[in-house]
A and B are shown apart, each in its own frame.
Chain A
Amino acid sequence: MGRLLVALASGALFGAGLLVSGMTDPAKVRGWLDVFGAWDPTLAFVLGGAILPMALAWRIAARMPRSLSGAPLPGPASRQIDARLLGGSALFGLGWAIAGYCPGPALASIGFGGAAIWIFTAAMLLGIGLHTLLNRRS
């Protein structure tokens, strides 16, 4: 029960943060990536602001035997940089720039984004499904 409440609070805080920061505005995201045009540096502040508390959290986690709920903490980060990581990130970057949505902000916009966000999200779910299907076959 406690874990579910924390998941709800964490999801809600994440969503509210995405709205406040401007990440749910596709024009803002497009402006951030438009380095050769009218560049908008706002997202650097969003990323910087998000990394700060999380960097502190990793330091605290390193001194804890388990998480506060008793569940194990994540193990050391993998160092493997392969074609899947870079290729997948490249495809994601292209899509992110075209629509101005990444998965978090897309989900956070479902309630108010109108028809465009439904089309994007439906295609995103299809993309996830396609990847799952191809992975099962190989």
Chain B
Amino acid sequence: MEADWIRGLIGGLMIGAAAALYLLVNGRIMGASGILGGFLTRSPAGSEWRERGIFLLGLIAAPALLVWAGFGHGSRPVASTLGLVVAGLLVGFGTRMANGCTSGHGVCGISRLAWRGIAATLTYLVFGVLGVVLARALG
């Protein structure tokens, strides 16, 4: 339990440092859903699209390499196939509709005391707690 919160804090500092780097050097807000959405819809095309693609490459490759090298472990799913499909649709649609997720609204929004980020985070936390109840029903 104690090691858990220390790892959480260290990992959190790494996430925040990644967002700080992306902001101060590239002038961009590090939001996972926005970067993925912009990459998929190719908007805008050109250098910004390539930048998003290469960010996603780092995001996918680094943890995969770490797990492969023996640091960290694979994740065990908590939802059934139906649950995964329903959840994926809700996460994909919801984050695009709200224009952000935990990294964009949560990390980058709250840290600049943005009202939108705070409101979004409180909303998805409340519905997340409700969702756990629903998830038990879905299995």
Contact = CB atoms under 8 A, between A and B. Distances in A.
Interface in B66-97: 66-68, 71-72, 74-79, 81, 83-97
A106 to B, nearest CB: 7
A26 B78 contact: yes
A100 B79 CA distance: 8
23 contacts: A3-B25, A13-B18, A14-B103, A21-B8, A36-B129, A41-B5, A51-B16, A54-B20, A55-B111, A55-B112, A61-B23, A67-B23, A79-B114, A81-B116, A87-B98, A88-B120, A100-B78, A101-B88, A112-B75, A114-B77, A117-B75, A124-B91, A126-B89
Nearest to A25: B75
A68 B63 CA distance: 27
Given A51-B12, A91-B98, A92-B94, 8 more contacts: A6-B25, A13-B62, A71-B27, A72-B27, A92-B98, A98-B90, A99-B77, A125-B92
B78 A99 contact: yes
Contact of B76 (A26, A80, A120, A124): A26
A37 B95 CA distance: 26
Contact of A33 (B11, B47, B93, B131): B131
Q: Is the interface of B mostly helix, strand, loop or mixed?
A: helix
Most buried by B among A98, A117, A131: A98
Nearest to B6: A45
Interface residues of B, number: 109
A125 to B, nearest CB: 6
Nearest to B124: A93
Contacts of B15: 13-14, 17-18, 21, 46, 49-50
Interface of B: 4-5, 7-30, 32-33, 36-37, 40-41, 47, 50-52, 54-68, 71-72, 74-79, 81, 83-99, 101-103, 105-112, 114-117, 119-121, 123-135, 138
Contacts of B112: 54-55, 58, 77
